[in-house]
Amino acid sequence: MSAQLIDGKQIAQSIKNNLKGRISALKEKGITPGLAAVLVGDNPASQTYVNSKVKACEKLGLFSKVIKRPANIDQYELIQIINELNNNDKIHGILVQSPLPSDIDELTITLNIKPEKDVDGFHPYNVGIMLLGRGGLLPCTPHGIMKLLEYSNIDPSGKEVVIVGRSNIVGKPIAAMLLQKAKNANATITVVHSRSQNIPEITKRADILIAAIGQPEFIKGGMVKDGVVIIDVGINRIEAPETNKGYRLVGDVEFDSCFEKASYITPVPGGVGPMTIAMLMENTVKAAELISSSL
């Protein structure tokens, strides 16, 4: 058996194309959805992510604004920036790019973003709405995974889903989403993590395996059963002297060995990554719709 690739780029483009009508409807009312990204420090990966988000906004005709500040910014000044964006009618979505300097508390920063502008879906209000199954602004990467499954006609209902990783950004929210009593959910969930024992025995049970542990090629072919659906969230750099860049990108799944056993698998890059940005665009448009409807 060899797997069918789940093309995240193609699905992400379909989602962005579907946003165009909603964006046009807002513009007819004089509203251009606006996204503000706050970038602290000079982390190269963060700069790349923010640039990708800005380009996505430009292609869809959204307004975007990037605010760059040095790594020695203090927390109070960062909160002041967020307050200004909260009160800026041109901005419907605010994201503060992680990671932040160690002396800044990320939760405090998140709490200062208005929930209706929290397009990352990290504010406790939005997390609570998600847990209740009431929609709201959902975290982008988990929501992107849900869309990958939906667009690929993979129904999680009644399936055993094993999630490797328990982060607040991916592991916990995707578990909550797949657990819902709702269409394209209703799964049986197992979460494994750094303290779990007998991980290969658990991952072999998975009908759907979601790898989000941040360890290069952690999941090997011998850890999964035939016919498994594999969603690889990881993006890791490993040394590759034979390449021009001196490195290559790999996921949390050892692709070649798992490809031979899976029925469906996401590539890295080109799988989950494009979906995260597509869902950020979705959240920005949705935030603009919700804010404008409440005026």
pLDDT tens-digit map of 164-218:
999 999 999 999 999 999 999 999 999 999 999 999 999 999 999 999 999 999 9
- Look up tokens 């129904």; give the residue: 155
What's the confidence (pLDDT) of residue 1?
A: 65
- Look up tokens 């969230």; give the residue: 233
What's the confidence (pLDDT) of residue 295?
A: 63
**Residue 104 neighbours by CB under 8 Å, 6+ apart:** 40, 73, 74, 75, 78
Using the 8-state DSSP alphabet, how is residue 240 labeled? -
The gap from C-alpha 51 to its chain's centroid, in whole angstroms, comes to 16
- Residues taking part in catalysis: 53, 97, 120
- Residue ranges, comma separated, of all CATH 3.40.50.720 domains in the chain are 140-273
Q: Which two tokens stand for residue 93?
A: 């979505």
Identify the CA nearest to 139 among candidates 102, 167, 108: 167
Instruction: Please state the pTM of the whole predicted model.
Output: 0.96
CA-to-CA distance for 242 and 253, rounded, in angstroms? 21
> At 274, which helix (H) or strand (E)?
helix 272-293
Over residues 2-27, mean pLDDT: 97
CB 50 within 8 A of CB 37: yes
Over residues 47-70, mean pLDDT: 96
What's the confidence (pLDDT) of residue 44?
A: 86
Query: Mean of the per-residue pLDDT values for the chain?
Result: 96
- Look up tokens 């847990």; give the residue: 131
What's the confidence (pLDDT) of residue 218?
A: 97
- Residue 43 has φ and ψ, to the nearest 5°, of -65, 120
Indicate the pLDDT class of residue 294, thresholds 50, 70 and 90. Answer: confident
CA-to-CA distance for 8 and 156, rounded, in angstroms? 18
Q: What CATH class is the domain 140-273?
A: alpha beta
- Look up tokens 């090997």; give the residue: 220
Q: Which two tokens stand for residue 47?
A: 């700069």
- Residue ranges, comma separated, of all CATH 3.40.50.10860 domains in the chain are 30-114
Q: Which CATH number fits domain 30-114: 3.30.300.250, 3.20.20.60, 3.30.230.10, 3.40.50.10860?
A: 3.40.50.10860
Indicate the pLDDT class of residue 76, thresholds 50, 70 and 90. Answer: very high
* Residue 25 backbone class (left: φ over 0; alpha: ψ -120 to 50; beta: rest): alpha
What's the confidence (pLDDT) of residue 117?
A: 98
What's the confidence (pLDDT) of residue 135?
A: 87
pLDDT at 247 over 90: no
Cis peptide leading into 115, omega within 30 of 0? no
